Structure 1
Amino acid sequence: MKGISRRTRACAAVAGLAIFASAASAQAQTRPEKVGDGIPTGQMSVQMFNYGSFIQHGLRTSFGPELPMSAVSAACVAPEGQQTGGGAVNPANTAACHAERLEALFAFLQKKGVTSIELFSHSGFPGLTDATANQNYRKLLEKYGLRAAGWHGTMQTTVNQAWRDRVQQAKWLGADSLGTGGYGSPGIGTYANTLQTAQNLNALGKYSVEAGVGPVYVHNHTAEFDTKYMHNGSMKSAVEILAELTDPRYVFFELDVFWSSDAFDDETGTATATIINSMPTRIKMLHIKDGINVANRASATDSRAGQPRATGTGVVDFRPIFAAAKNRVQYYHQEHDGGNMADAGVSFTNLKGINTASVPALSSFPAGPAAAPANSTNAFKVNVSNTGDKPLAITTASIVGDNAADFTIANNGCLNQTLAAGTLATETAPAAPRGTCEVTVNYKATANLKSSVAYLQFNSNADDATEKVLLTGQTTSAYVADGTVGGSVAASLALNLGPAPTFGAFVPGLARNYDINMPVKVLSTAGDAKLTVSDADTVNTGKLVNGAFALAQPLQVNGKPLSAPVDAITYTGPTAGTEDATLALRQSIGANDALRTGTYAKTLTFTLSTTTP
């Protein structure tokens, strides 16, 4: 009976999946006109705040058709009727389930064409000073083709230890900027606070950039546009004041396009596009969010009345926004306050880049060497990949910025390279990796305790906003200087042959080889040298002679007959002349060779020569 029961459950599960697939195909999603061609491929990101409840609780209502409950183990799906507050303890709210649902989420994001995430401190997020946990989180991101594009977290008021720790954590995670879900501290509640906030942001951003992470950024709702103060003789919003007072090198703006549309009661997208056009170099990120009630207001002084919805199902027209953002905005973070996984699937499908937004994307991380003494040369590598879905053609690279002179390109492995677009595995084809290339950069600053900041600027067919890579370097209190100390070596070639060798007595009528080793010492300061043995006798060349008589067979030197000059020893570099080299001499006597009484001998010429003195 147990076997029958298991079989029945298995059949029911298969039938359920078949019905679900049929229902999904019957309700194919139609792409709304208001999203246009969508987000440029390779630049679509997501704010992790969307998924905090899913990661922590795993409620059944938080799953969706494209990330169903079957994507995680049964133990990591909350029981039927489980709520986030009060009631019974949720057995799926465990560290192991947080990790399992996080990985399932990353796999879902990869499948939907998302290439980066905006970090948020969800359940299971690594601790501030836990290097291993943060590095493992980054490895999990990389496993699914993702990177950390910014981070909503706590913005300090000064560069204190907490800020230094957060910057270090960002480096472990691979984040390229640090932000907040608001406008920082002390905020924009008064004009004085607004001025102080700008000053604080500049200091925090300067530290973050010089530490090799990237700038800091702020995020709007409606209040930042509603709040206005008299500033330099004009009534201006908090956004405008901060844009004037913050340093573009250290601070940029993340524009939430739904709340900006809500602030200006605008469904057409033109008000938000106007903001982007008025700040063409300051807005590097967008929060892509849709909703309803944008044209309404909570009160005469509070414009916030909008209610978020899945992107494409609300009233915002994104076409003017995307047009203004082209070549200006690097990351487009999808966000839906209160949405679930089904809503996310709808948003990503509507936002996936098509037609003019189906493009390559250049992706890289901030790079720089470890701190080193001033005036020393330190090489490091900048790795580049194509996160888009079209080939990325890179034509040039140069170094720009305040401290560009401290950096040089040592080897440009990306020059005139075309990087392929990566693809996920399908039922019929394996995955194809993203194309990559590498640039080697040297850092050399001559001042002690200097923080150098520059950018590696690429020229390619990708969006302009993706083509700059932060380069940083720091020198210590030490200083390195090159000084020349040396002496000269006169050209020398010398040969020491030692005593004349002898074979002893030759025995007539007996075939035999007579062998002897002749030691020589060679001194050479040349780049190469060659010892040649030759016989100047033109009558009995290479043969030992006894008066008018000569041996029948020539002398052999290192296995070669001396009937012609023999290159006996070759040197590929200088020699000290203190070690013996050996010339192997052989005289062969045949059984029928006639021998004359007396001494057979020959004066040979030993020539030491070089082609590179």
Structure 2
Amino acid sequence: MKGISRRTRACAVLAATGALALTGTAQAQTTFPEKTGDGVQTGQGSIQTFSHRNFIGNGGGLGANPPALTIAPAADGSSCATGTSDECVWKRLDALYGYYAANGLDNIELYGHPSLPTNDEIEGPYGWKAYRAMLDKHGLHASGWHGSLNESQWPARVAAAKILGLDYIGTGSGQADGENLDSYASILRSAQILDRLGKYSVENGVGPVYVHNHTTEFDRKYMDNGTLKTAWEIMIERTDARYVAFQVDAFWSSDAFDDATGTATAAFINKYANRIKLMHVKDGTRVGAEFNPANQNPPNSRGGSPSAFGEGEVDYRPILAAGKGRVQYYSQENDNATLTTMVTSLRNFKGRGSAIVPAVLGLPTTFPSVAAGTPAASNVVPITIKNTGDAPLDITNIALANNNNQNNQLYQFPGERPGDFAVVDSAACLATDLAPNATCFVNVGFKPTTTDYKSVARLIVQSNADNATESILLNGTSLEGPAELPIGGNVDTVLNLTLSASNTFGTFQPATARNYDQTVLANIVSTAGNAALTVHDPSAAAPGRLVNGTFALSQPVQVNVSQPPANTASAFSPISGTPTSLLTFNGPTAGAVQATIGLRQAIAVNEVLRAGTYSKTLTFTLGTTQP
């Protein structure tokens, strides 16, 4: 049994800040490019059909020496080699999908290609049921689907995805529809939308929602919990692992990291080991070209150019090693593909050597709704387990994720309800090894313990296959009891601090003992569980003291604070390089809170004053430990 560590989400310190200015080369393999390693584990290989959009749409994108695909003529006998009717597009799809299967692919990833059914187009010669039949004809499984994340259309899209038998349903973008990651608030809104979409898809018989990166997701960076993070790091840490997955496009991430060695992308996958469930295996040249690190928001245009897999610059060996036990589907994609270059990509992509392994395919399963208290044996659904790999599959145990050990394959995600399901009979799958393409059945029962509740759990098939393939989603809804209408709303985490003040103490008088004072108006808004306002001097030069070239005043700037309605000022305290506490809040603020901050500079009668301007920049921070 293999274990996957799960990175727990931690809520540290979220902060808003305001600044106040006081004035050697190895020999290539015999037949395969060395950087492609042993390719992708058989059974987990997929292809993004966007690579062949020209061929699908109008018969173009053939290249110089394309494979000979047999395209059936239209019903009237005319050629469908270049026709754009639904009939001709589907004839070309049929030929293309046959070629995929002949080259060892078990899975495909869809995009919104011409003549793809609309969400509501279930029946008919070009509906979802017919599309599923075409995939079944060639032994292909739809592992994912790049499409819209429009919330109003989501139920219809999930219903279509269920007919296809999708494991994951997502988008070719890096965020939810309507958001663009151009602000911290946009990232938080996107995370909330994704959680809602993923919860619905999982609870309705499809896998999690997923998003897909280009370079923007890594170029945009914001402060989160006191740490500068990329947009995707924030989104991963703010979404629910049960409902939201991430698809790393390893070429665009390598381009964003300016790293063709594959180590930076591998490190990202290792950091978020339980969240990266899909990958685009794409190669290309000019990785990181035209990148200007001084201008990251908005991100720069990139110079990377996709190519056939194995003919670019990216070293996939560390990336594929990091994906083992974590990434379930690897989709080969080439934005510039022709049918000619497809031959090269698929040849270098298909698993060989150590990548010739078994793979478990078990589709998300929905159980009939029954009343709470129904025994598992009275509500059984047989779940098909198929070995889509090239080596025999040895299943040693089938159980529900049900423990709290994060390093164990059976780790139970928060919110899962394994107690509402039971493995009734798994003997047929444990009796003998499954040959490639063979199937067995495990009987699982739904036995809800709560009335009118949507239950979700994962069935874990422990075997000699890759861990990433061995989790099967289960969902069931118990029958209604008394009518209930959950209502509510969301509040984003807000920490807002604005400062308004003069930026000068005026003119210091030599040989005169005097205090020079000014005030700062602070406007504070917080929705956090607690908050604290502090001030410090981040400078390494004479912390807390105003400086004028190499000269510094002998006494630090002092600070106090008063707040309505009492307006009683606190005692002055010296500012230093460590935070000085000004105000604390034990809960959210009631709207905007105003406070008056007093700043004082004491000048002694014997103070040495050098002509010029004394200045320092202080940092005021509104932070929380309970976002």
TM over 0.5: yes
SS of corresponding position for 2:334? coil
Cross-structure match for 1:85: none
Cross-structure match for 1:155: 149
Cross-structure match for 2:134: 140
Answer whether contact 2:395 2:463 (CA < 8 A) is retained: yes
Cross-structure match for 1:309: 307
CA separation of 1:223 and 1:383: change in aligned 2, threshold 3 A: same
Cross-structure match for 1:474: 477
Deviation at 1:298, TM superposition (A): 4.3
Q: Which amino acid aligns with 1:36?
A: G
Answer whether contact 1:42 1:389 (CA < 8 A) is retained: yes
> Which segments of 5 or more consecutive residues in structure 1 lack a partner in the other structure?
1-27, 79-91, 422-433, 480-613
Deviation at 1:94, TM superposition (A): 1.6
Aligned residue among 443, 447, 461 for 1:444? 447
Q: Which amino acid aligns with 2:334?
A: H
SS of corresponding position for 2:371? strand
Q: Which has the higher helix share?
A: 1
Deviations 1:558-608 (A, max 9, x none): xxxxxxxxxxxxxxxxxxxxxxxxxxxxxxxxxxxxxxxxxxxxxxxxxxx
TM-score (norm 2): 0.65
CA separation of 1:362 and 1:69: change in aligned 2, threshold 3 A: closer
Answer whether contact 2:168 2:210 (CA < 8 A) is retained: yes
Cross-structure match for 1:220: 213
Cross-structure match for 1:57: 58
**Cα distance in 2 between the residues matched to 1:72 and 1:257:** 36
Answer whether contact 1:259 1:304 (CA < 8 A) is retained: no
**Cα distance in 2 between the residues matched to 1:42 and 1:144:** 14
SS of corresponding position for 1:56? helix
Cross-structure match for 2:156: 165
Cross-structure match for 1:125: 116
**Cα distance in 2 between the residues matched to 1:247 and 1:305:** 34
Answer whether contact 1:72 1:100 (CA < 8 A) is retained: yes
**Cα distance in 1 between the residues matched to 2:431 and 2:180:** 47
Cross-structure match for 1:268: 261
Cross-structure match for 1:457: 460
Q: Which amino acid aligns with 1:58?
A: G
SS of corresponding position for 2:319? helix
Q: Which amino acid aligns with 1:67?
A: P
Cross-structure match for 1:106: 97
Which is further off, 47-56 or 348-357? 47-56
**Cα distance in 1 between the residues matched to 2:188 and 2:201:** 20
1:224-239 matches, within 5 Å, as 224-239=217-232
Aligned residue among 420, 435, 457 for 1:420? 435
Deviations 1:478-501 (A, max 9, x none): 59xxxxxxxxxxxxxxxxxxxxxx
Deviation at 1:122, TM superposition (A): 1.2
Deviation at 1:99, TM superposition (A): 1.1
> Which segments of 5 or more consecutive residues in structure 2 lack a partner in the other structure?
1-28, 402-411, 483-627
Q: Which amino acid aligns with 1:38?
A: G
Cross-structure match for 1:46: 47
Answer whether contact 1:63 1:69 (CA < 8 A) is retained: no
Answer whether contact 1:397 1:456 (CA < 8 A) is retained: yes
Answer whether contact 2:143 2:166 (CA < 8 A) is retained: yes
Q: Which amino acid aligns with 2:315?
A: D
**Cα distance in 2 between the residues matched to 1:29 and 1:175:** 38
1:411-560 matches, within 5 Å, as 411-412=425-426, 413-421=428-436, 434-477=437-480
SS of corresponding position for 2:327? coil
CA separation of 1:378 and 1:242: change in aligned 2, threshold 3 A: same
CA separation of 1:98 and 1:414: change in aligned 2, threshold 3 A: same
Aligned residue among 181, 185, 191 for 1:188? 181
**Cα distance in 1 between the residues matched to 2:395 and 2:70:** 42
Cross-structure match for 1:8: none
Deviation at 1:303, TM superposition (A): 6.1
**Cα distance in 1 between the residues matched to 2:396 and 2:444:** 17
Answer whether contact 1:180 1:217 (CA < 8 A) is retained: yes
Cross-structure match for 1:333: 331
Answer whether contact 2:70 2:95 (CA < 8 A) is retained: no
Deviation at 1:129, TM superposition (A): 1.3
Deviations 1:257-305 (A, max 9, x none): 0000000111111111111111111100000000000042244432621
Deviations 1:101-147 (A, max 9, x none): 00001110001111111121212212211223212211211111111
Aligned residue among 196, 211, 219 for 1:203? 196
Deviations 1:457-480 (A, max 9, x none): 01111001000100111112159x
Answer whether contact 2:48 2:332 (CA < 8 A) is retained: yes
Larger CA Rg, structure 1 vs 2: 1
Deviation at 1:409, TM superposition (A): 1.1
Answer whether contact 1:69 1:77 (CA < 8 A) is retained: no
Cross-structure match for 2:421: 407
Deviation at 1:70, TM superposition (A): 4.6
Q: How many residue pairs get matched?
A: 423
Answer whether contact 1:118 1:150 (CA < 8 A) is retained: yes
**Cα distance in 2 between the residues matched to 1:142 and 1:70:** 19
**Cα distance in 2 between the residues matched to 1:323 and 1:439:** 31
Cross-structure match for 1:320: 318
TM-score (norm 1): 0.67
Answer whether contact 1:263 1:303 (CA < 8 A) is retained: no
SS of corresponding position for 1:380? strand
**Cα distance in 2 between the residues matched to 1:252 and 1:328:** 11
**Cα distance in 2 between the residues matched to 1:241 and 1:64:** 45
SS of corresponding position for 1:414? helix
- Counting aligned pairs with the same residue, the percent is 44
Q: Which has the higher contact order (CA 8 A, sep 6+)?
A: 2
Answer whether contact 2:63 2:341 (CA < 8 A) is retained: no
Cross-structure match for 1:86: none
Deviation at 1:441, TM superposition (A): 0.7
Cross-structure match for 1:515: none
